[in-house]
Amino acid sequence: MEFTIALIKGDGIGPEIVDSAVRVLDAVSEKTGVKFNFKSYLAGGSAIDAVGQTLPEETVKGCLEADSVLLGAVGGEKWNSQPPENRPEKALLGIRKEMGLFTNLRPAKIYESLSDACPLRKEVAEQGFDMVIVRELTGGIYFGERGRREGKFGPEAYDTEAYSVMEIERIAKVAFETAMKRKKKVISVDKANVLETSRLWRETVHRIAEDYPEVEVEDMLVDNAAMQLVRAPGRFDVMVTSNMFGDILSDEASQITGSIGMLPSASLGETTRGMYEPIHGSAPDIAGQNIANPIATILSAAMMLRYSFDLPKEADMIEKAVNDTLNAGLRTVDIYDKDTCEGEPLGTVEMTDEIIKRL
Ligand code: NAD
């Protein structure tokens, strides 16, 4: 078996953490015989510096030709004066659009060995949680009609939310398929007591649920979901929600794990090809110092094996190696606690070495 992976290392810590994930994939390759071919492309600030464009044509072509894309992160102070259409973040929106990626999958889980980092009450943290948020990524209010106009009380601004049945159906299917591979439980989050788009969302999710009789489905209003995430995060397994609610709730979910350097994500479309990236940014404050936590990117590579390449055993292998490394008390500085950890914090390269040792 052979797969081509387009690498976009990006800016800041991007090159360091993508190099770590590539080393882990190479080690998986050695152990299993599955072959990964890597091709590097520019996007974001580094692309602006090299060719003046945040998303060069060649990068889009490379992403569309590859079996999947692994991205570090883009952006930094240096490129903040670029015009809006050439800002580094625009590269991400451009790739998502060109690849037709309408789903964002964000797992948020607490590692037993890191439960001290969780900002929730000790008894809640100790119960643990392990959820996946399935966020609709290309529709809703972020893409609706907007503008300024003269209103009843003077000048006003407006944004509109629209969702088609097709857009809701396809994201609901992703949620139910994801649930079938997990605990067979979906919580659909909406604001159906107020919004018409949410009422259509609810109807459509329940219609799709009929095709998945084994999956339990529950509706939850978004305000309640925000509260339940901090009161009883263990209630969630798969959460499916719209673009804006998913944006907010997935950040809330990542914060309650207490470790931004640990969380991976996947963006998927109709085909198996996806884009995989850590949820954190390019962390310019720590770039080039060999102190970034590579785990979020390594786990993003594991998600790629699971969701795009159908290699669940190889994905498990990486996730287990990460878990074993953490259980051995080894930490990068962002998750290091001098009272509970052995020795000194490890650098990016050394943490990667330890994970590879445990594959
Ligand atoms: P950030 O996620 O880059 O950093 C926030 C804090 O977390 C910083 O203190 C940073 O040092 C720390 N951190 C982040 N990742 C870490 C890791 N792997 N290991 C250890 N510590 C880590 O967010 P920010 O500072 O708001 O943004 C910096 C730049 O990244 C901005 O230009 C922003 O636009 C961009 N950004 C890019 C993406 C992306 O490419 N997907 C996402 C978010 C932000």
SS3 173: helix
For residue 282, the CA-to-ligand 1 centroid distance in Å is 5
pLDDT at position 118 is 85
Confidence of residue 122 (pLDDT cuts 50, 70, 90): confident
Q: How do strand 68-73 and strand 274-278 relate by DSSP bridges?
A: parallel
Confidence of residue 179 (pLDDT cuts 50, 70, 90): very high
Mean pLDDT value of segment 10-19: 98
Q: What is the pLDDT of residues 19-54, one digit of tens each?
A: 999 999 999 999 999 999 999 999 999 999 999 999
Confidence of residue 215 (pLDDT cuts 50, 70, 90): very high
Cα separation, 162 vs 140, in Å, equals 5
- Does the domain spanning 1-101+280-359 belong to CATH 3.40.718.10? yes
Name the CATH superfamily housing domain 119-256: Isopropylmalate Dehydrogenase (3.40.718.10)
**pLDDT over 80 (residue 342):** no
pLDDT at position 343 is 82
Q: What kind and span of H or E run contains 49?
A: helix 45-51
**pLDDT over 80 (residue 340):** no
pLDDT at position 77 is 94
Q: Where in the chain is the domain with CATH 3.40.718.10?
A: 1-101+280-359, 119-256
**Residues in Cβ contact with 283 at an 8 Å cutoff, skipping those fewer than 6 apart:** 12, 13, 73, 292
Confidence of residue 127 (pLDDT cuts 50, 70, 90): confident
| Placement of tokens 């600030």 in the chain | 45
pTM for the model stands at 0.91
Residue whose CB lies within 8 A of the most ligand 1 atoms, among 101, 260, 276, for a mutation test: 260
254, 242 contact by CB (below 8 A) = no
Name the catalytic one among 67, 90, 190, 191: 191
Structure tokens at 64: 């569309």
DSSP class of residue 199 equals H
Structure tokens at 226: 């925000």
Mean pLDDT value of segment 199-225: 98
Residue whose CB lies within 8 A of the most ligand 1 atoms, among 280, 290, 291, 297, for a mutation test: 280
pLDDT at position 222 is 98
Confidence of residue 125 (pLDDT cuts 50, 70, 90): confident
